Structure 1
Amino acid sequence: MSPINSINLSKIFSKLDKNGDGLVCLDELKGFLDTIGIIASQEELELLLGKTSLDSIDFFFFYDAITKANINKGSNYKHEDRENVFLENDLRKVFRVFDLNEDGFICCEELQRALSRLGLWDEQCGKDCKSMINVYDKNLDGKLDYEEFKDMMFDN
């Protein structure tokens, strides 16, 4: 299960494509990543992506790569995998973007507000917030701690 479905990825892509040319340039992508707490320079993004803009298919592949990145210190990384190592540290920053009250947990209301800021909120999503949390809530406390959040983000 992917944390964000293809319909919502399309919405994000459309919002990022501010000039409507069907491409998300690195400036637009960098702005989005900054907003969700992932800090990367334009040079790092260009090195990682190997291009200066992404069409919607490239954007979907980029999303897929960052959510499925296998950060395993003992393995031999390909060039792209080496560049994705920053995700482990930055994932904590993303967690803090969702953890609005900074209590170390993401509750349904915080998830809803974060999705609203990304333009992904609708009434159906509100019902999905609870079920999304419940799927990954191992200790059944109704909220996600960092490890549960990490499991959700890297779920296949």
Structure 2
Amino acid sequence: MSSSSLSSIDLHRIFHKLDRNGDGLVSLGELNWLLERVGVQYSLDELESLVGNTTLDFNEFLVFYESISTEKKGESEVEEEEVKEEEEEEDVGDLAKAFRVFDLNGDGFITCDELQSVLSRLGMWEENGGGDCRSMIKVYDTNSDGVLDFEEFKNMMLLSTI
């Protein structure tokens, strides 16, 4: 598993946010809604062939998450290194796309307001008990300017989960 993987607590929280009707199952539509918001595009048919069902319970959701987050392994050390380099390039590209999602005004920095706005849209920020986004930024703000540049954002995403 990569260093950017989510904890089981985070996955449990995400699962329950997706399970809007509280039936203990996440539909492919609900799962696709989340995937689209993080920049992953699947048709419902593709998603059903990946998942093998039209709904997922929490354990199936964990298996699906593991299957899409597990690093590929090459057959030899050379292939493994090439795959790792390609994945790192893809990760940086994916992180750049994610950074642009959070950088709402396109100025190259993520402010507290931008972070809170995007997390709210994703259903991952609770106004009453969500915590302080300034303290979230401060942990990774290495130059103490109160905002996250791309390198700081990359460190945040690779070293933790929001």
Question: TM-score, normalized by length of structure 1?
Answer: 0.66
Give 5+ residue unaligned stretches, structure 2. 73-77
Q: What does 1:4-153 align with in structure 2 at a 5 Å threshold? A: 9-18=11-20, 20-36=22-38, 38-42=39-43, 51-52=52-53, 53-59=55-61, 62=65, 66=69, 76=80, 86-122=90-126, 123-127=128-132, 129-153=133-157
Q: Which has the larger radius of gyration?
A: 2
CA distance in 2, matches of 1:107, 1:147: 14
Distance verdict in 2 for CA 1:121–1:3, change over 3 Å: farther
Q: For 1:25 and 1:121, how far apart are their aligned partners in 2? A: 22
1-structure distance, mates of 2:37, 2:135: 25
Instruction: Please state how far the C-alpha of 1:75 moved relative to its aligned partner.
Output: 6.1
Look up the equivalent residue of 1:143 and give its one-letter code. Answer: V
Q: Return the letter of the residue paired with 1:23.
A: L
Q: Which moved more, 1:13-22 or 1:93-102?
A: 13-22
Q: How many residues align?
A: 146
- CA pair 109-6 structure 1, distance change in 2 beyond 3 A: farther
CA-to-aligned-CA distance 1:21-62 (integer Å, 9 cap, x gap): 4232443222212123x1332477567x66445432454562
| Structure 1 unaligned residues grouped into runs of 5+ | none
Change in CA separation of 1:5 and 1:51 when aligned onto 2, cut-off 3 Å: same
Q: In structure 2, do the counterparts of structure 1 residues 106 and 13 end up closer, same or farther at CA, with 3 Å as the change threshold?
A: same
Question: How large is the Cα RMSD of the aligned pairs?
Answer: 4.0
Q: 1:50 to 1:118 in 2, by over 3 A?
A: closer
> Identity of aligned pairs, percent?
49
Moved over 6 A (4+): 2-5, 82-85
Q: Which amino acid aligns with 1:93?
A: K
TM-score, normalised by the number of residues in structure 2 = 0.64
